[in-house]
Amino acid sequence: MTRNTLLLAVLAAAIAGCASDRPQLETGTTYQVEWIGERPLIDNSHLTITLGDDNRAYGNAGCNHWFASYTMEGDKLTFGAAGSTRKMCAPALMEQEQRFLDTLGKVQRWDISPIDQLRLWPAEGKAIRLWPVEG
């Protein structure tokens, strides 16, 4: 093996190793919503998404708990119609919750940003941006 061939093999292995270290969308992991489209969450509100192994998604929508079916194939991700509990909260929280559930229903794909943030992209507009919940 020539020195150049060895160098190329080492570089290829290093690149492959880096690619596998890249965060991925994982079932069973809970993600905390940071932004819905162009708007950050209301201070101290708590929205989450967990994708179960059974193709059921669920979480907290800020006021109510929500649930929906989902389908994921590669970077394609879609959610079925979301259901939720029916608690009433402050109008601003209810508006944010409805915006979240509406956007969730339009998601078509996911990716990981350059800063390792999960993004759920609707057909049009900006993504829902999330971080994995530690612990």
Residue 58: give its domain's CATH number: 2.40.128.270
d(CA 5, CA 69): 49
| Tokens found for residue 1 | 């093996």
For residue 3, being part of any structural domain is answered with no
66: number of Cβ within 10 Å: 23
Q: What is the pTM of this model?
A: 0.81
Q: Per mean pLDDT, which range of 5-14, 41-50, 59-68, 71-80 is the poorest? A: 5-14
Q: How many domains does one find in the chain?
A: 1
For residue 41, being part of any structural domain is answered with yes
**Which structural domain, as residue segments, surrounds residue 90?**
26-132
- Most confident range (mean pLDDT) of 11-15, 17-21, 46-50 is 46-50
- State the average pLDDT over residues 25-44: 94
Instruction: Band the pLDDT of 53: cuts 50, 70, 90.
Output: very high
At residue 17, the 3 state secondary structure works out as: helix
For residue 10, being part of any structural domain is answered with no
- Condensed to tens digits (0 to 9), the pLDDT of residues 55-98 reads 999 999 999 999 999 999 999 999 999 999 999 999 999 999 99
- Spell out a b/e string for 80-101, using b for 16 or more CB atoms within 10 Å of the CB, else e: eebebeeeeeeeebbebbebbb
